[in-house]
Amino acid sequence: MTAATLTRTARPLTLSSAWRTRLGYGALMAVLAYLVVLPLIRLQSLAFEDGGRGFRAQYGRYDIVQTIRTTVSLAVVSLVIAMVLGTILAFAATRLPHRLSFLRIIPILPVVMPAVANVVGWAFLLSPGPGYLNALLRMLPWWNDLESGPVDIYSTSWIIILTGFGLTSFVYLFVSAGMQNISSEHLEAAQISGSSTLGVFFRVVLPLLRPSLVYGGGIALLLGLGQFTGPLLLGQNAGVKVLTTEMYRRVSESPSDFAAAAAAGSPLVLFGVVVVLAQKMLLGNQKRFVTHGGKAFAPNTGRSAWAAVSISVYAIVALVIPLIGLVLVALSPYWSETLTWNLFTLDNFRALFETASIVDAVWTSIGTSLVAVAICVPIGFLTATLLVRGRRHRVLAVIGDVITALPLGIPAVIFGVGFLLTYTEPPLILYGTKAVIVLVYIVLMVPFATRMLMTAMVSLGETYAEASATSGASPFVTNVRVILPLMRPAVLSAVSLMFILLTHEFAASLLVRAATTQVMGTLLFELWENGSYPLVAAMALLMTAVTSIGVVIAMIVGGRNVLSNL
């Protein structure tokens, strides 16, 4: 084969095919813009109508200062809790003895437990009156004179603490990934120089983790600002308000006030953009954080017993204890501080499967989640390809990067309100259908699919694609036969993460669901409001079981590392 022939063969795109590719990416960006941007534009434009009536209605309230203060306190303090715990757990995971290396996956497991299930589990334990742990604490001499308490799970402080524990797993995912890239040479050099374990941690590990800490901290801060589950379930009766619950209240009241709801969410939208820009400035040139030592690179390991103890204690507090609360209530005919073992029954679980609305909600959750995941994977792959290899389509790549980043910085409740507004009016009236749930799920999950597949694509480099093109394969054949098989672990990890998050999803689902179209989280909320606490506990355990089964299937298909690759 001559050099000229080889050049023609390796040339990936002709002029006409380049324009077809450009038009294809343009159509994809138009669809994503319609799904992601249009609801936000329609919602935010309402806040400015009639001379900013929405802002006057929302920010002219007497209690708005306290609402904003609570929102900021919840985000900042829970961020501190999550950053401290997540970083310590990630460092502890690197110090585990080899025989206990399986413990590294434990800090990820709380992600499998739905946030709504975790919250109600703690409520069953620490409610001032019937909470089981409070009942035990009142047996101690310090509090035996109390009729309720001493802990009030419905207070702002405890909502913040639970939020911090919930965000810890997300911080751990980012920080542990960065920790694995720190060569043992750096730690050994510091120890030889006389540094203690704490000295190594503060002088070597933390500076090298700056990119992971900045990115993970930014995501945790945004998640804290957009917290909805804890404040709604625990703070509603106690008068604890944040901006997201204010949005829900404005939409749920009769008549609905979308303008005021949009105004309540405006600061969250603005702050999301600021945090993303701040991340880029703080990270700067990331090349100075590279810690691989070439061929001699070896991840650090350890033999510290404290590491196993730290991770085990976190697992007990974040996972085991709330599960115990759920199990106790689910097996009881009613929720009471007094446990009577001979009254334990499985009737609540039987009721779940004998109630048609609950069975329908379970299948709706599973079905809509699977459909959304199936759609998100190709969208994420195409968008990742555009961002990584779209040098000829830089404008489209920038647009795609911005559009797919928006759902990461904007709380799900805002998209829920936006979709409720957009799809209750022409041209597409989808309210009350499963289709609107699938659409909002796609919007929420596209960033995760895109980022995870993009990371895997970057790590593959250009060699495989260039070799396939040189052999005469089209881009479609190259992607199907070469790139996708090599990216199988990343694809399965993305599927696992999206399925976990969607079967948990509560905020957006609560706003777009109808009485006849429920998912597990929204039905659990209705049971909670109706005071059907044993059914709430059983439903929470069922949600956890459904998610766990999905993760197990993904691990069987993709290997045990699927969950750790999240």
Residue-range domains of the chain with CATH = 68-289+301-330 (1.10.3720.10), 346-566 (1.10.3720.10)
Q: Are 353 and 425 in contact (CB under 8 A)?
A: no
* The pLDDT value given to residue 438: 92
Question: Which residue type, as a one-letter code, is found at position 357?
Answer: S
Instruction: For residue range 126-174, list pLDDT tens digits in order.
Output: 888 888 888 888 888 888 787 777 888 998 899 999 999 888 888 887 7
Q: Give the span between the Cα atoms of 220 and 213, in whole angstroms.
A: 10
Q: Are 131 and 149 in contact (CB under 8 A)?
A: no
Q: Give the span between the Cα atoms of 163 and 230, in whole angstroms.
A: 7
Residue among 69, 81, 25 at smallest CA distance from 241 = 69
Cα angle value 261/262/268 (rounded, 5°): 105
Q: Give the span between the Cα atoms of 221 and 163, in whole angstroms.
A: 11
DSSP string, 61-121: STTHHHHHHHHHHHHHHHHHHHHHHHHHHHHHHHTS-GGGGGGGGGGGGGGTS-HHHHHHH
Residues 6+ apart with CB under 8 A from 328: 124, 132, 339, 537
Cβ neighbour number for residue 37 with a 10 Å cutoff: 15
Q: Give the span between the Cα atoms of 566 and 561, in whole angstroms.
A: 9
Q: What is the DSSP letter of 514?
A: B
Q: Are 126 and 112 in contact (CB under 8 A)?
A: no
CA–CA distance from 142 to each of 112, 135, 190, 464 (Å)? 37, 13, 47, 68
* The pLDDT value given to residue 290: 42
* The pLDDT value given to residue 159: 92
What are 557's two structure tokens?
Answer: 């298909």
Cβ neighbour number for residue 16 with a 10 Å cutoff: 8
* The pLDDT value given to residue 299: 46
Q: Give the span between the Cα atoms of 8 and 470, in whole angstroms.
A: 9
| Helix axes of 64-94 and 243-252: crossing angle, nearest 10 degrees | 130
Quick check: helix, strand or coil at residue 61? coil
Q: Are 166 and 110 in contact (CB under 8 A)?
A: yes
Regions in the chain scoring below 50 on pLDDT: 1-13, 15, 284-300
Residue among 410, 429, 562 at smallest CA distance from 498 = 562
Q: Are 298 and 181 in contact (CB under 8 A)?
A: no
Four-point Cα dihedral 55, 34, 275, 562, nearest 10: 140
Instruction: For residue range 245-280, list pLDDT tens digits in order.
Output: 888 888 888 788 888 888 888 888 888 777 766 655
Cβ neighbour number for residue 431 with a 10 Å cutoff: 18
What are 539's two structure tokens?
Answer: 């439903």
Residues 6+ apart with CB under 8 A from 445: 372, 373, 376, 498, 501, 502
Quick check: helix, strand or coil at residue 183? strand
Q: Give 457's Cβ-side CA count (13 Å radius).
A: 22
* The pLDDT value given to residue 81: 92
What are 29's two structure tokens?
Answer: 């960006």
Q: Give the span between the Cα atoms of 218 and 274, in whole angstroms.
A: 10
